[in-house]
Structure 1
Amino acid sequence: MKRVRITLRPRGAYAPPIYERIAGGASYLERARIVNWNVSSPPTGFLFRLEGTYRRFERELAESPMVSDYEVIPVTDRECYCFLEGDVSAAARSLFENFTRGSLMTVPPIECNDDGTNTFTIVGTETDIQSAVDGVPDGVGVTVEQVGGKRVAADSVVGRLSDRQREAVATALELGYYDVPKTATSADVARELGCATATAAEHLQKAESTVFESLIGE
């Protein structure tokens, strides 16, 4: 059996409106993961783990014509689980089904990235994995990120940070924000990131909180 981590870039009919919202289309969502799903028969069901101002997303679900049912389960005031059931295009359904054929298993969660892509791990025989990658439609970009490795899924503390949080921390390290004595401020980090100082400080604070919780235990 082989393990392969891939990134997909669905477009058009392969990217339902709800997916576009959680994959960079809603600035109020800082991180979105697809924890589980069921595309065996209509309607399609998804379970998301969301971070950010998720109540705004809940309002969008209530107004979406594709969503037939949903439930938001708060974890904190900034994190929740979100179950939804609804109709997706045949193209979007076929894209999911492409990675469930033969010996293949998709290892959750699927990380929904801010640039519209999603990244996940598949496990299966080399032949079935190659067939799945080759079977990705022309309207969907596909990149093989890693073959093999010691981990089946991204379970490190770094994997728990959003893309923007990782970028903020990397920038802060490069500028000397964490040096002793400190040689950079959150304003310097914000300038490099091209965002407001308060936004950069929030990214750093949330990243630090995640790291410390991982080290000490929630």
Structure 2
Amino acid sequence: MKSVDLTLSLPAWMQLPMPDHIASDAVVREELLSWQVHPDGETVSFLSLVVGDLAASQTAADDIEVIQRTSFTSIDDETFYAYVTMENREADSALMNTLQIPGLVLVPPVVYTDEATMQVTVLGEEDTLSSVVARVHDDVSVSIERVSDHGRLGGSLAGRLTRRQFEAVEVARDLGYYAVPRTASLAEVAAELDISESAASSLLRRAEQALVDAALVR
């Protein structure tokens, strides 16, 4: 079983049209967590975790004609959940049909770093995965970012870590290594993990690099 990380560059006709009066940086990042096409096939509902301007996003949603219903829940000053019901556009169907291959699993979240850039992870056998790129719409540019064995923890960021890296970060956090100010030393983290300080340092740095790359979609 393999997983493939893909970056899709969407043409203008596939992008959700944003009102001209909304700043381009109103949404910094959107993680599409779950979605469902309604039985009539005419509408789709989805839940997203969004980093951006909540007020601007609410205004934009009110002004986008295809959006029928929204509900927003603030997490902090820059992060919120958005539950949206909208028309199931031809563009949306064309995009999702690309990934609806028997034996292929789309692994949430689907990440949008801007209106035109979409990152997805798909899981399946090698012969199934090889057919994905061939099915992508001609107007969509696709890049293969990574191919790997799918043996990691699930989740939008933690999924980039090995189990040992996850354990190290969890131990370091619980001990206070990431507290401000720091209340635990690297030696204490190493002792808890029963490894040398150099091994603990390497483990944490690799985990931190993976988390930063995931957060920045690299």
Band of TM-score, shorter chain: 0.5 to 0.7
Cα deviation, residue 28, structure 1:
2.4
1:155 counterpart residue number: 157
1:9 counterpart residue number: 9
Structure 1 unaligned residues grouped into runs of 5+:
160-209, 212-218
Structure 2 unaligned residues grouped into runs of 5+:
162-210, 213-218
2:102 counterpart residue number: 102
Q: What's the Cα RMSD here?
A: 3.0
| TM-score, normalised with respect to structure 2 | 0.63
1:42 counterpart residue number: 42
Amino acid corresponding to residue 26 of structure 2 in structure 1:
Y
Cα deviation, residue 98, structure 1:
1.7
Percent identity, aligned pairs only, is 22
Deviation track 1:138-168 (CA, whole Å, cap 9, x = no partner) reads: 1000011111155366524999xxxxxxxxx
Whether the aligned pair in 1 keeps the contact of 2:12 and 2:116 (CA below 8 Å) is no
Cα distance in 1 for residues equivalent to 2:73 and 2:99 = 28
Cα distance in 2 for residues equivalent to 1:90 and 1:114 = 20
2:174 counterpart residue number: none
Cα deviation, residue 44, structure 1:
1.3
Cα deviation, residue 33, structure 1:
1.3
| TM-score, normalised with respect to structure 1 | 0.63
Whether the aligned pair in 1 keeps the contact of 2:98 and 2:137 (CA below 8 Å) is no
1:178 counterpart residue number: none
| Paired positions, count | 158
**Equivalent residue of 1:37, what SS?**
strand
Cα distance in 1 for residues equivalent to 2:113 and 2:61 = 20
**Equivalent residue of 1:76, what SS?**
coil
**Equivalent residue of 2:127, what SS?**
helix
**Equivalent residue of 2:101, what SS?**
coil
2:60 counterpart residue number: 60
**Equivalent residue of 1:61, what SS?**
helix
Whether the aligned pair in 1 keeps the contact of 2:27 and 2:114 (CA below 8 Å) is no
Deviation track 1:45-103 (CA, whole Å, cap 9, x = no partner) reads: 12111112111111111121100111101112321100111114223212112212201
Whether the aligned pair in 2 keeps the contact of 1:37 and 1:45 (CA below 8 Å) is yes
Cα distance in 1 for residues equivalent to 2:156 and 2:58 = 27
Cα deviation, residue 29, structure 1:
2.2
Amino acid corresponding to residue 54 of structure 1 in structure 2:
L
Deviation track 1:157-206 (CA, whole Å, cap 9, x = no partner) reads: 999xxxxxxxxxxxxxxxxxxxxxxxxxxxxxxxxxxxxxxxxxxxxxxx
Amino acid corresponding to residue 54 of structure 2 in structure 1:
Y
1:83 and 2:83 correspond: yes
Cα distance in 1 for residues equivalent to 2:156 and 2:83 = 22
Cα distance in 1 for residues equivalent to 2:115 and 2:16 = 15
Choose 1 or 2 for highest CA Rg.
2
More helix per residue: 1
